[in-house]
DNA sequence: TATACATCGTTTCAGTATGTAACTATTCGC
DNA sequence: GCGAATAGTTACATACTGAAACGATGTATA
């Protein structure tokens, strides 16, 4: 079989373009994909420490610092004091952060719509089903894009 | 819709892992993905100059130098003199390069087999068909993985 | 033919992104 | 209390990348 025709190559090639396109869609909001990833997880687990978040997302502590820095500078996230541990910072979404997250979801929905524009709803569902079977077989963490996280810790 | 459930995210996530896996499969052969890309295209267009190849693959000239350097050092590719233009180098596959390419194709086939292990042949065909119909798929250069090439020149 | 300009391959360089290893402040186990 | 472990931060060393400069060669033009 000619390379470029297989499922593997197609998915890999498409994935690169799709994530690049999402990055472009996020750019007008002043958000990078990694910032979006962290913002979303802060919303899901308010009050988490930076390293707890970093562990879940496989982002090393030193990188988390600058990501949270940028989110805080933009007023989307707050570093509050943790009442029980003065070393840790409790991360919280600000109202502005919540609004931003809502905007990103709209972007994501539009992105998805554009990608699947040529597919019927039934086809789309079938596609999702097959892709999901492929992901399950590969032990991926749902909702966490490995390109934005660290290579290591895969052995854990 | 929750992020992580969409076609876009699934493909992007899968694509990253799949290309990473291919890189790992290539590693025992002492070949990196970009070297493989160039090697394959040298085979398809023997005698090309470096920049002609670079233009097709969207790899800037300065990068092409080190890629061809490494391929030549390993004895897979030759820089011959171009009889009609002494500036250009005519790239040719060596017999060893040809053997290497055959080995990489075996790797690619095995990779594809592993990916589609859970899919019936009919499903696999349907999957390929749908992937090809995704809107973003239309802008892709067949057989050229954009992650290995330059960002620019997209406007051309 | 002489001259200006374009092209090929190469080298140099500066910007960016990354993880590791120190470092301080704090907490926990004993 | 005292040593070890942990949270966040900073400093640093490394790798990757493309733009730009460069010499050699080719092409067009007068």
Say whether A16 and B40 touch across the interface (CB within 8 A).
Answer: no
pLDDT on residue B3: 60
CA A115 – CA B133 distance, rounded (Å): 9
Say whether B132 and A10 touch across the interface (CB within 8 A).
Answer: yes
Report whether pLDDT(A154) > 70: no
Confidence band for A5, pLDDT divided at 50, 70 and 90: confident
Say whether B40 and A3 touch across the interface (CB within 8 A).
Answer: yes
pLDDT on residue A73: 96
Q: Hey, is the C-beta of B10 within 8 angstroms of any chain A C-beta?
A: yes
What does chain B come to in residues? 156
pLDDT digits (tens, 9 = 90+) for B81-123: 999 999 999 999 999 999 999 999 999 999 999 999 989 999 9
CA B3 – CA B121 distance, rounded (Å): 30
CA B27 – CA B104 distance, rounded (Å): 10
pLDDT digits (tens, 9 = 90+) for A87-121: 999 999 999 999 999 999 999 999 999 999 999 99
Q: Hey, is the C-beta of A27 within 8 angstroms of any chain B C-beta?
A: no
- Residue A35 to chain B, least CA–CA distance (Å): 15
Domains located in chain A, CATH noted: 15-115 (1.10.10.10), 119-146 (no CATH)
Determine contact, residues B10/A128, Cβ cutoff 8 Å. Answer: yes
Which chain B residues touch A3 with a CB distance below 8 Å? Answer: 40, 105, 108, 143
Confidence band for A152, pLDDT divided at 50, 70 and 90: very low
Contacts of A34 (CB under 8 A, 6+ apart): A59, A67, A148
Which chain B residues touch A128 with a CB distance below 8 Å? Answer: 5-7, 10
Confidence band for B5, pLDDT divided at 50, 70 and 90: confident
Q: What mean pLDDT, rounded, does chain A reach?
A: 89
Nucleotide with minimal C1' distance from the CA of A84 is: C27
pLDDT digits (tens, 9 = 90+) for A8-35: 999 999 999 999 999 999 999 999 999 9
CA A70 – CA A77 distance, rounded (Å): 9
CA A12 – CA B20 distance, rounded (Å): 9
Give the H or E element holding residue A91. Answer: strand A89-93
- Residue B125 to chain A, least CA–CA distance (Å): 9
pLDDT on residue B152: 41
Q: Is A90 exposed, middle or buried (0-12, 13-18, 19+ CB in 10 A)?
A: middle
Report whether pLDDT(B71) > 70: yes
Taking residues B47-58, what's their average pLDDT?
A: 95
Tokens of residue A17, six digits: 């373009």
What pTM was estimated for this model as a whole?
A: 0.88
Would you tell me how many other CB atoms lie within 10 Å of the CB of residue A26? 19
Which chain A residues touch B137 with a CB distance below 8 Å? Answer: 10, 14
CA A62 – CA A39 distance, rounded (Å): 17
Distance B94 CA to C10 C1' (A): 23
Instruction: Write down the residue that tokens 């894009």 correspond to.
Output: A145
Give the 3-state secondary structure of chain B.
CCCCCCHHHHHHHHHHHHHHHHHHHHHHHCCCHHHHHHHHHHHHCCCCCHHHHHHHHCCCHHHHHHHHHHHHHCCCEEEEECCCCCCCEEEEECHHHHHHHHHHHHHHHHHHHHHCCCCCHHHHHHHHHHHHHCHHHHHCCCCCCHHHCCCCCCCC
Determine if strand C comes within 7 Å of the CB of A83: no
Determine if strand D comes within 7 Å of the CB of A64: yes
Distance A72 CA to D9 C1' (A): 16
Determine if strand D comes within 7 Å of the CB of B69: no
pLDDT on residue A145: 79
pLDDT digits (tens, 9 = 90+) for B121-133: 999 999 999 999 9
Strand partners, A80: A90
Taking residues A143-154, what's their average pLDDT?
A: 65
Q: Hey, is the C-beta of B85 within 8 angstroms of any chain A C-beta?
A: no
CA A10 – CA B31 distance, rounded (Å): 21
Share of chain A above pLDDT 90, in %: 81
């Amino acid at each position: 079989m000619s390379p470029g025709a297989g499922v593997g190559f197609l998915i890999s090639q498409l994935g690169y373009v799709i994530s690049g396109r999402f990055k472009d869609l996020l750019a007008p909001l002043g958000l990078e994909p990694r910032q979006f990833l962290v913002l979303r997880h802060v919303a899901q687990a308010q009050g988490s420490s930076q390293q707890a978040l970093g562990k879940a997302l496989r982002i090393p502590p030193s990188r988390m610092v600058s990501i949270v820095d940028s989110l805080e500078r933009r007023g989307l996230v707050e570093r509050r004091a943790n009442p029980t541990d003065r070393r840790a910072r409790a991360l919280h979404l600000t109202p502005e952060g919540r609004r931003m997250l809502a905007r990103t979801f709209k972007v994501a929905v539009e992105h998805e719509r554009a990608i699947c524009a040529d597919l019927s709803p039934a086809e789309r569902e079938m596609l999702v089903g097959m892709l999901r079977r492929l992901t399950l077989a590969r032990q991926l963490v749902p909702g966490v894009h490995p390109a934005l996280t660290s290579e290591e810790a895969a052995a854990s």
